[in-house]
Chain A
């Protein structure tokens, strides 16, 4: 084995740390998988990629009961066999020596020490029961993830809402997709897109905004590129403050200052209507113009839009008027326009409005409900849609994305769960930001939440405005289930070693309403256990084994029981997966897209269109749909079959630059790294490309500040600061800075800077926009060492 001194040191430290907590390490676990020349496996097991929301079908290569390789599934309809750099190297971190393999309990000296599962689970149950008795049912919260399987999220959600009668259930999709959910609910009437990825192959104009697809969804970007290569007449418009590689294949780039895009969207709408490019018949038949309360005429809407004349908007946004006019023409006249967006629109204090305005463009031009025409939100996480949005694992939702505040929805779910009427609390719980603000110590009367179970996510790195929330995480009773030590396990009172996806199996539902099953490929290492087992064991110890009976050791059997329970609860909703039985999902190589009401239904390409959408024939829906309606929004709360064109006002970011903080800062992903870097940063081949965070700055700004490539700077917002090197590149507009979000080193964790101002409706924080200042603190320093937390007892001093 060819190992440098640096790597030897790192492995030695890892080995010492592991030994300290009782993790057995062998030469085999320490040796990276070698490139043997041919992929040599005993078997390939069907599954789904663990990373982004694309939902790439994979085969997991197993040799001697270990995962040794990954390859794409050519029959998958999401990726057709292609994988990106992250997905192709999943096996390279699964056996990293930092894996958590035994439960850990924090002792009286503040050290995490190994414990048995019984001891750890008994302690959790005892503490949770004690808090619930002393401080009420809502003193114990759950914080999950769009990376848990659907079965896991459903189980935790059922335990809390049906077992504890508490809606204190949140998940990290609140931080990434909540604005898309609220956008779909308010504009269309039901969450998640009408169309699918297949629209990429038939669209004639693609509008990309708030998404660096090239890096965040590389396999979808490959698909878009391929379409453009085969059909150069496809128009691609990109609206972004950074001119990323996504923009490089665009026919038109609409530059904007962060937060000003609402004006551009309104302006495009104005140009469309002013030039008579709108679809008047579609608007009259299938849409209403509203501000949420009153309805308005098209003339009144046009008058409202007239304040967003392209020339005026150009001054507000830095987007040239000519480009706005060109975008409007292409959008309206292409024949089939598709929009895609992601966190650039969602992680905003006006994220819901931004979503509404994109839907508006589709509704006024009739670019909806036909091949290649759709308003399509890309999801960031692999199972935010299937696991959290569809199972309703947020504080205001129930399975099927029904609202807890709706008495009929509560009654339906209580009946399906066979629990007493009135068990489900009618009051929605707190959103994520409120939840972590309310977490605290037993003796702190200002903090009503005393304990939290955190599953498959890392809020001590991923919450915005970290200085505000880290003390709360330190003070509360934290149970954390994960596969590696993280910033969050550093605060945990109990750490539970979780099985990785391919060590337990389960269902993921991606951006295009597609549920796909991953088979269990191998056993977890050491004593690591599936999260569904952990949830069921806690339920058992807290007297809810009747509600969660799937507490056996066979994870695939438990998954099947949970899935079958879930599809029964959502059977009569427009998100029905009743026909997607576990047997069928196991056999299918491409998964199933809801709505799927019966076992002989193939799944749905396009919603709201007769002949494509089976809901038109489902009891409870078909009675209210006119027999002659070819397209109909049956989810319209007013029962008129219409979607809403929202007459929103203009609002910029919650925080904009001023004399003291003169720059916009935005943040996001790089292609090689996933979220907080805890997995991908342990794959040397890809992590070396982006091992540490940096400040991306335009040459014009760098020159004004006298900065040279690699100089160290302090970046400060009203909340906190980072110290990191500069990368001087012509990517973002002058005045706009960028820091990637994956670095775990405290000095480079961008969430010390980011803003926790939330959208009023979705409660999603404005990660994407902060006002900052920069101070040069010195010349280039060596900061390239990738940083992982290897020692579970390393302190997080903040």
Chain B
């Protein structure tokens, strides 16, 4: 049991370190993102997949890789530039260091926080 706990702890540490460095913590290979990210044993917030499924992004085909990139350009927390290609006007109106996620609930996206 101790060994399992140590392994889990080590994995989490590794994941945290990798995320912090802007890299996905493991080789993404051919696995679809939502397969691991729906599994509570693998990730800490499996609900994000459910949220995304109900979002306008899901309905217009904006998947994980569009904002988070892939192994070559992974971003755990996408910045404004990830939004700008598709939402250029809204990003242009976002001044300074304010990031889109400051106002819009990530993964649901459908509405502005203030409108909820």
Name the contact of A82 in the complex, choosing from B32, B86, B92 (C-beta under 8 A): B86
Name the contact of A35 in the complex, choosing from B29, B61, B69 (C-beta under 8 A): B69
Closest residue to B56 on the A side, CB-wise?
Answer: A225
Q: Is the CB of A784 within 8 A of B65?
A: no
Q: Report Cα–Cα, A7/B82, bound state, in Å.
A: 24
Q: Report Cα–Cα, A768/B18, bound state, in Å.
A: 46
Question: Is B39 interfacial (CB-CB < 8 Å)?
Answer: no
Closest residue to A688 on the B side, CB-wise?
Answer: B65
Closest residue to A217 on the B side, CB-wise?
Answer: B60
Question: Is B44 interfacial (CB-CB < 8 Å)?
Answer: no
B 7-29 binary contact with A (CB < 8 Å = 1; else 0): 00000000000000001000111
B30 contacts across to A, CB distance below 8 A? 688, 691, 782, 784-785
B60 contacts across to A, CB distance below 8 A? 84-85, 214, 218-219, 221-222, 225, 671
A 664-688 binary contact with B (CB < 8 Å = 1; else 0): 0000001110000000000011101
A 15-42 binary contact with B (CB < 8 Å = 1; else 0): 0000000000000000011111111000
Name the contact of A74 in the complex, choosing from B27, B69, B88 (C-beta under 8 A): B88
Q: Report Cα–Cα, A784/B28, bound state, in Å.
A: 13
Give the total of B residues in contact with A, Cβ under 8 Å: 34
Q: Report Cα–Cα, A70/B88, bound state, in Å.
A: 10
Q: Is the CB of A2 within 8 A of B88?
A: no
A36 contacts across to B, CB distance below 8 A? 81
Closest residue to A782 on the B side, CB-wise?
Answer: B30
Size class of the contact patch on chain A: 35 or more
Closest residue to A69 on the B side, CB-wise?
Answer: B85
Q: Report Cα–Cα, A39/B82, bound state, in Å.
A: 9
Question: Is B87 interfacial (CB-CB < 8 Å)?
Answer: yes
Question: Is A81 interfacial (CB-CB < 8 Å)?
Answer: yes
Q: Is the CB of B88 within 8 A of A71?
A: yes
Q: Is the CB of B66 within 8 A of A32?
A: no
Question: Is B47 interfacial (CB-CB < 8 Å)?
Answer: no
Q: Is the CB of B63 within 8 A of A686?
A: yes
Name the contact of A37 in the complex, choosing from B32, B66, B79, B88 (C-beta under 8 A): B79
Q: Quick one: given A4-B29, A39-B84, A684-B70, are A74 and B59 in contact (CB under 8 Å)?
A: no
Of residues 62 through 116 on chain B, the ones whose CB sits less than 8 Å from some CB of chain A are 62-63, 65-66, 69-73, 75, 78-82, 84-90, 92
Q: Is the CB of B82 within 8 A of A85?
A: no
B65 contacts across to A, CB distance below 8 A? 684-686, 688-689
Q: Is the CB of B72 within 8 A of A1?
A: yes
Q: Report Cα–Cα, A684/B63, bound state, in Å.
A: 12
Question: Is A582 interfacial (CB-CB < 8 Å)?
Answer: no
Question: Is A632 interfacial (CB-CB < 8 Å)?
Answer: no
Q: Is the CB of A2 within 8 A of B85?
A: no
Q: Report Cα–Cα, A225/B58, bound state, in Å.
A: 12
- Nearest Cβ in chain A — how far from B25, in angstroms? 12
Closest residue to A56 on the B side, CB-wise?
Answer: B86
Question: Is A63 interfacial (CB-CB < 8 Å)?
Answer: no
Q: Is the CB of B86 within 8 A of A88?
A: yes
Question: Is A215 interfacial (CB-CB < 8 Å)?
Answer: yes
Closest residue to A683 on the B side, CB-wise?
Answer: B65
Q: Is the CB of A4 within 8 A of B71?
A: yes
Of residues 208 through 229 on chain A, the ones whose CB sits less than 8 Å from some CB of chain B are 214-215, 218-219, 221-222, 225
- Nearest Cβ in chain A — how far from B24, in angstroms? 9
B86 contacts across to A, CB distance below 8 A? 71-72, 82-84, 87-88
Question: Is A3 interfacial (CB-CB < 8 Å)?
Answer: yes
Q: Is the CB of A685 within 8 A of B87?
A: no
Name the contact of A81 in the complex, choosing from B23, B66, B88 (C-beta under 8 A): B88
A72 contacts across to B, CB distance below 8 A? 85-89
A71 contacts across to B, CB distance below 8 A? 84-86, 88
- Nearest Cβ in chain B — how far from A360, in angstroms? 31
A685 contacts across to B, CB distance below 8 A? 65-66, 69-70, 73
- Nearest Cβ in chain B — how far from A27, in angstroms? 14
Q: Report Cα–Cα, A88/B85, bound state, in Å.
A: 5
B 31-50 binary contact with A (CB < 8 Å = 1; else 0): 01000000000000000000
Name the contact of A59 in the complex, choosing from B61, B71, B88 (C-beta under 8 A): B88
Closest residue to B92 on the A side, CB-wise?
Answer: A74
User: Which applies to chain A's interface (DSSP): helix, strand, loop or mixed?
Assistant: loop
Q: Report Cα–Cα, A104/B32, bound state, in Å.
A: 38
A32 contacts across to B, CB distance below 8 A? 72-73
B58 contacts across to A, CB distance below 8 A? 245
Q: Is the CB of A2 within 8 A of B92?
A: no
Closest residue to A88 on the B side, CB-wise?
Answer: B85
A2 contacts across to B, CB distance below 8 A? 23, 71-72
Question: Is A249 interfacial (CB-CB < 8 Å)?
Answer: yes
Question: Is A554 interfacial (CB-CB < 8 Å)?
Answer: no
Q: Quick one: given A214-B60, A221-B59, A672-B63, are A83 and B82 in contact (CB under 8 Å)?
A: no
Question: Is A73 interfacial (CB-CB < 8 Å)?
Answer: yes
Question: Is A248 interfacial (CB-CB < 8 Å)?
Answer: yes
Q: Is the CB of B27 within 8 A of A4?
A: yes
Q: Report Cα–Cα, A689/B63, bound state, in Å.
A: 8
- Nearest Cβ in chain A — how far from B103, in angstroms? 17
Of residues 63 through 77 on chain A, the ones whose CB sits less than 8 Å from some CB of chain B are 69-74
B29 contacts across to A, CB distance below 8 A? 4, 6
Q: Quick one: given A32-B73, A35-B75, A71-B85, are A225 and B66 in contact (CB under 8 Å)?
A: no
Question: Is A796 interfacial (CB-CB < 8 Å)?
Answer: no
Closest residue to B24 on the A side, CB-wise?
Answer: A2
Q: Report Cα–Cα, A70/B83, bound state, in Å.
A: 11
A135 contacts across to B, CB distance below 8 A? none
Q: Report Cα–Cα, A59/B73, bound state, in Å.
A: 22
Question: Is A117 interfacial (CB-CB < 8 Å)?
Answer: no
Closest residue to A70 on the B side, CB-wise?
Answer: B85
Q: Is the CB of B72 within 8 A of A3?
A: yes
- Nearest Cβ in chain A — how far from B41, in angstroms? 20
Q: Report Cα–Cα, A81/B29, bound state, in Å.
A: 33
B81 contacts across to A, CB distance below 8 A? 35-39, 69
- Nearest Cβ in chain A — how far from B110, in angstroms? 8
B23 contacts across to A, CB distance below 8 A? 2
Name the contact of B66 in the complex, choosing from A39, A85, A248, A782 (C-beta under 8 A): A85
A691 contacts across to B, CB distance below 8 A? 30
- Nearest Cβ in chain B — how far from A17, in angstroms? 21
Closest residue to A216 on the B side, CB-wise?
Answer: B61
Q: Is the CB of A248 within 8 A of B59?
A: yes
A 775-798 binary contact with B (CB < 8 Å = 1; else 0): 000000010110000000000000
Q: Report Cα–Cα, A271/B62, bound state, in Å.
A: 40
Q: Is the CB of A222 within 8 A of B85?
A: no
Q: Is the CB of B88 within 8 A of A218?
A: no
Q: Is the CB of A38 within 8 A of B88?
A: no
Q: Report Cα–Cα, A36/B30, bound state, in Å.
A: 25
Closest residue to A684 on the B side, CB-wise?
Answer: B70
A417 contacts across to B, CB distance below 8 A? none
Question: Is A277 interfacial (CB-CB < 8 Å)?
Answer: no
Q: Is the CB of A672 within 8 A of B61?
A: yes
A661 contacts across to B, CB distance below 8 A? none
Question: Is A93 interfacial (CB-CB < 8 Å)?
Answer: no
Choose among A4, A35, A73, A785 the residue with the greatest number of B CB atoms under 10 Å from its CB. Answer: A35
- Nearest Cβ in chain A — how far from B114, in angstroms? 16
Q: Is the CB of A222 within 8 A of B79?
A: no
**Which 9 pairs, one residue from A and one from B, show the smallest C-beta to C-beta distance?**
A671-B61, A74-B89, A88-B85, A685-B65, A784-B30, A81-B89, A71-B88, A218-B60, A35-B73
**Chain A residues within CB distance 8 Å of chain B:** 1-4, 6-7, 32-39, 59, 69-74, 80-85, 87-89, 214-215, 218-219, 221-222, 225, 245, 248-249, 670-672, 684-686, 688-689, 691, 782, 784-785
Other than the given A39-B85, A81-B90, A672-B61, 20 more pairs (CB < 8 A) read A4-B27, A7-B71, A35-B78, A35-B81, A38-B80, A39-B84, A70-B85, A71-B84, A72-B87, A72-B88, A83-B85, A215-B61, A218-B61, A245-B58, A248-B59, A249-B59, A684-B72, A685-B65, A685-B73, A782-B30
**Chain B residues within CB distance 8 Å of chain A:** 23, 27-30, 32, 56, 58-63, 65-66, 69-73, 75, 78-82, 84-90, 92
11 contacts between A and B (CB under 8 A): A2-B71, A34-B73, A38-B80, A69-B84, A72-B88, A84-B86, A85-B62, A218-B60, A225-B60, A688-B30, A784-B30
